[in-house]
Amino acid sequence: MNPPALRESRSVCPYCGTGCGVLIEHDGERILGVRGDPEHPANFGQLCSKGMTLAQTVHGSGRATVPLQRVAEETWQQASWEQSMGQIATRWAEIYRDRGPQALAFYVSGQLPTEDYYVVNKLAKGFLGTNHIDTNSRLCMASAVTGYKRSLGMDSVPCSYEDLERTDCLFIVGANVAYAHPIIFRRIEAVKAQRPELRIIVVDPRRTATASIADLFLPILPGTDVALFHGILHLLIWNDRLDTDFIQQHTEGWQELKQRVQEYTPQRVAELCQIAEADLQRAAEFFATSPAVLSLWCQGLNQSAHGTDNNVALINLHLATGQIGRPGAGPFSLTGQPNAMGGRETGGMPALLPGHREIANGEDRAAIAELWGVETLHPEPGYTAVPMFQALERGDLAAIWITCTNPVLSLPDRQQVERALRTAEQVVLQESYLDGETMPFAHWLLPAASWGEREALVTNSERRISHLQAAVPPPGSARPDWQIFCDFAHALALALDRLSVPLPDRKDDSWQQRALRMFSFRDTASIFAEYRRCTIGRDLDIGGLEIAILDRQGPQQWPFPVGAKSGQVRLYANGIFPTPSGRARFHAPVHLGVAEEIDARYPLRLTTGRLRDQWHSMARSGRAASLFASAEEALLAIHPQDARQYGLQEGQLVRVESRRGAALYRLQCDDSLQRGLLFVPMHFGSRYSPAALCNSVTQAAIDPYSGEPEFKHTAVRISAAELPWEAAALVEDDTRDLSAILRQLAQGFPYASITPLVSKHGAAVLLRVAAAQAPEAELAQRWDAALALFGPDTLLYEDPRQGLSKRLRIRGGRLTGLRLWGGLQTLDWLRQLLLEGTAIDAFRLALLAPRVPDNLGAWERSRGICACKGVDEKTIRQVIANGADTLEGVMQCCGAGTECGSCKPEIQQLLQSRLAEAS
């Protein structure tokens, strides 16, 4: 029989909001590879390290394939779809009957495609009558939404990626674009190379990889963004650099703002932000003298207890200078998730309705009620994410349906979230992956089809809608999320009729009739057709956009009304804004600082953020071993002088503690941080670094308008973790799911990290643990048994007096597994031998030595820099030492950065620091 033919399906990367087009190579059963779609206008064929490894993340163990019911603490039982839907629906119907719809809630995700968002919103608000539906976009984009709405009248991003190529000044604030949106950064790099006169200002408390390209870097104190923007505006006024015509004709509220910014003198702002006054002057000069200024921002502005203020204060600058609605100009918020924008369009938030409509607006409610065929919609906005879980803990909510998100790891104040989920009468988790941190709290797990396994529609940061084709079937009985919601609506209707629960109006004779009328969607196209009707006449009108057009003409930006030939590149070119007066609004917030100031007990500032090669809670990116090379463990970064001040050393385990809880990290000294600031990645959870969950420490302070939590600043203290005893195991991963076994072995240790690694012969997994004192010696034998490190092909060294023990497995003349107990002096050496598949027959007994024998050379572990080419930091440093003194020179010498280019900013940083040292 001939092997199945290979073919390609068009899709979009499911990670960040850049929305890069990908072509999936597959045989109809398995995804075999991906490449960037050369025709997609977001990326023109390029992909970053995460996108490049997508094919590794789809198949294999750890996928949810059948519905599961938790029957005891850690015991799950398979169920059919019919059983699970029937049982869940019965419980939800009882809650509805006894407590009403306001006891029911949904918590969904910015990764859900548009059709899923539309259907679940219709289910919650239209069918059940609860507005308690929020999305994890609350944690990243909500402040940008409220900022746009308050300033411009609608949540509509006015700019496009092509503005990157047409701007004269990029003002990048609170966004590590090089890590979080690498392909956008590639575009910026290309423009800068072509037009070195392009001015780039980067504002960030950390000197991130993005700052490597900056002409001006402003390392402001966390929480001083409003002061900075007011300070720039103050200078623009003082130097007569405003666009007074634009202010007069197209805005309102100027006088109040003008008065407000009088207080923000350059000297005061420089003090508040802790930057040089001359740098502030220079930023204002750049802004004032550049023909076109484009601002880019992301979570640095949004994840703040004053995130909306940060947004409106930045937009003020664009309005005051008329830098909006023109090529290369405007306030451009970068979206964190692949379809956060689609969620906003379809009303997937508690105060919204489809088509950028508001729950609180009677006309908007009436329009959608008519479209959905119900009498009325509930007029009160529902709970946003943080209050939703607080209501769950109080018992005001009884049941929650969580879809495609992991709140136990991603919401702030993890302890509270866990209490809330334990209190809930029913937690339904609809997921594609098993073993997320939320799964132990769920009563039901429903398997959802994932990327590549279903058709979908998504909208990226620049309002561009793409159509994703299905490439392969979902595993087991997993289904698209919209289909699960529709199935549930029908099951719920049956249960409500059985319990004789009356309908809220007379539009239907029974719940079942209503469900049949509202949820008989056949496919994505039928949902999209209904959703499009919600947009007609609105600012995001896509009445003229059909899936066939997307397939024929490629991805399109909204609006795309009936009769349009293509989407609209830029908004507000005519200076008319979707406010009642048609004018944009200035707002005049005051600088309020951070929600939790540092003090004598918690004297350090902790900020959180993304790594280059991981994404969110690592459910998908954690399945690609090569993505761990640049960050094997959750590290806490500290300025070297702060480390010295606290008597801490690079590589030691430290405890970081806030008023709410503590977490353990390995310490990394990093002079890109300002003094007094610590940084931890947001990604790691119980699967990879069980003690390093940053939301054990972060706070639930939220912005009053957007409800977005302040992830970017927490007052903390730091101390040595005092865990001197260490052990490790590194085993080649064959057909078994070794990570799961290693997770079991890690239990009971106060610190552990589990790291998938790439070896010459495939894959390997590393476990490291630490404790205050040595555990019972028999535990080492139990590790050996669990990891098959026993038998004639193993060597054993034991020194009971020193408490040291070492077990090595040698097969085919090379090391294939090891376990070190009580000391890790030889770990880096042995690890390298194992991963590189080195022939060790010539020195096999030397492997048992407690230290690396001198005659076998020096061994030093080095951080991976280039995930695509497998080049580490040591190699790059060597290349620089050998004379490479340009980025291109380094790339040419060692190959790093020549594939996806995601590591180029780090190579540049290494180069800059080495050249600075040398001079």
Binding site for ligand SF4 (CB under 6 A): 13, 15-16, 18-20, 43, 47-48, 50-51, 181-183
Between residues 181 and 454, which has the closer beta carbon with respect to ligand SF4?
181
User: Would strands 653-657 and 662-669 be described as parallel, antiparallel, or unpaired?
Assistant: antiparallel
Between residues 290 and 405, which has the closer beta carbon with respect to ligand SF4?
405
Between residues 180 and 643, which has the closer beta carbon with respect to ligand SF4?
180
Shortest Å distance, C-beta 176 to ligand SF4: 13
- Neighbour count for residue 673 (Cβ, 10 Å): 23
Shortest Å distance, C-beta 532 to ligand SF4: 25
Shortest Å distance, C-beta 377 to ligand SF4: 35
Between residues 329 and 627, which has the closer beta carbon with respect to ligand SF4?
627
Between residues 388 and 867, which has the closer beta carbon with respect to ligand SF4?
867
Asked whether 881 and 918 are in contact (CB, 8 A), the reply is: no
Strand partners, 383: none
Counting beta carbons within 10 angstroms of the beta carbon of residue 415, is it exposed (0 to 12), middle (13 to 18) or buried (19 or more)?
exposed
Between residues 48 and 367, which has the closer beta carbon with respect to ligand SF4?
48
Shortest Å distance, C-beta 612 to ligand SF4: 10
Shortest Å distance, C-beta 771 to ligand SF4: 37
Shortest Å distance, C-beta 208 to ligand SF4: 16
As a whole number of angstroms, the distance between CA 497 and CA 508 comes to 12
Counting beta carbons within 10 angstroms of the beta carbon of residue 592, is it exposed (0 to 12), middle (13 to 18) or buried (19 or more)?
middle
Shortest Å distance, C-beta 24 to ligand SF4: 13
Shortest Å distance, C-beta 571 to ligand SF4: 23
Shortest Å distance, C-beta 465 to ligand SF4: 15
Between residues 13 and 448, which has the closer beta carbon with respect to ligand SF4?
13
Asked whether 530 and 486 are in contact (CB, 8 A), the reply is: no
Helix (H, G, I), strand (E, B) or coil at 743: helix
Q: What angle do CA 28, 32, 34 make, to 5 degrees?
A: 110
Place of tokens 């690396």: 852
Place of tokens 């000197």: 207
Strand partners, 75: 72
Asked whether 414 and 408 are in contact (CB, 8 A), the reply is: yes
As a whole number of angstroms, the distance between CA 356 and CA 537 comes to 11
- The CA radius of gyration of the chain, in Å to the nearest whole number, is 28
Shortest Å distance, C-beta 623 to ligand SF4: 15
- Neighbour count for residue 918 (Cβ, 10 Å): 9
Between residues 47 and 723, which has the closer beta carbon with respect to ligand SF4?
47
As a whole number of angstroms, the distance between CA 627 and CA 780 comes to 30
Helix (H, G, I), strand (E, B) or coil at 471: coil
Between residues 182 and 864, which has the closer beta carbon with respect to ligand SF4?
182
Between residues 51 and 864, which has the closer beta carbon with respect to ligand SF4?
51
Query: Which residue minimizes CB distance to ligand SF4?
Result: 51
Between residues 43 and 135, which has the closer beta carbon with respect to ligand SF4?
43
Asked whether 449 and 433 are in contact (CB, 8 A), the reply is: no
Shortest Å distance, C-beta 471 to ligand SF4: 16
Shortest Å distance, C-beta 258 to ligand SF4: 40
Shortest Å distance, C-beta 212 to ligand SF4: 17
As a whole number of angstroms, the distance between CA 9 and CA 494 comes to 38
Helix (H, G, I), strand (E, B) or coil at 2: coil
As a whole number of angstroms, the distance between CA 566 and CA 256 comes to 40
Phi and psi at 167, nearest 5°, equal -85, 160
Place of tokens 């203290």: 717
Between residues 17 and 447, which has the closer beta carbon with respect to ligand SF4?
17
As a whole number of angstroms, the distance between CA 466 and CA 469 comes to 10
As a whole number of angstroms, the distance between CA 621 and CA 913 comes to 30
Helix (H, G, I), strand (E, B) or coil at 101: helix
Instruction: Name residue 677's amino acid.
Output: L
Nearest to 317 by CA among 295, 348, 336: 295
Shortest Å distance, C-beta 185 to ligand SF4: 8
Between residues 54 and 673, which has the closer beta carbon with respect to ligand SF4?
54
Asked whether 806 and 793 are in contact (CB, 8 A), the reply is: no
SS (H, E, C) 296-347: EECHHHHCCCCHHHHHHHHHHHHHHCCCCCCCCCEEEECCCCCCHHHHHHCC
Between residues 176 and 753, which has the closer beta carbon with respect to ligand SF4?
176
Q: Looking only at Cα atoms, what is the longest distance across the chain?
A: 88
Between residues 139 and 420, which has the closer beta carbon with respect to ligand SF4?
139
Shortest Å distance, C-beta 889 to ligand SF4: 26
Q: Is 572 left (phi over 0), alpha (psi -120 to 50) or beta?
A: left
As a whole number of angstroms, the distance between CA 251 and CA 247 comes to 5
Shortest Å distance, C-beta 236 to ligand SF4: 33
Shortest Å distance, C-beta 620 to ligand SF4: 10
Between residues 556 and 621, which has the closer beta carbon with respect to ligand SF4?
621
Helix (H, G, I), strand (E, B) or coil at 644: helix
Between residues 181 and 814, which has the closer beta carbon with respect to ligand SF4?
181
Q: What is the DSSP string of 143-203?
A: HHHHHHHHHHSSS-----THHHHH-SEEEEES--HHHHSHHHHHHHHHHHHH-TT-EEEEE
**Tokens standing for 595?**
């929600």
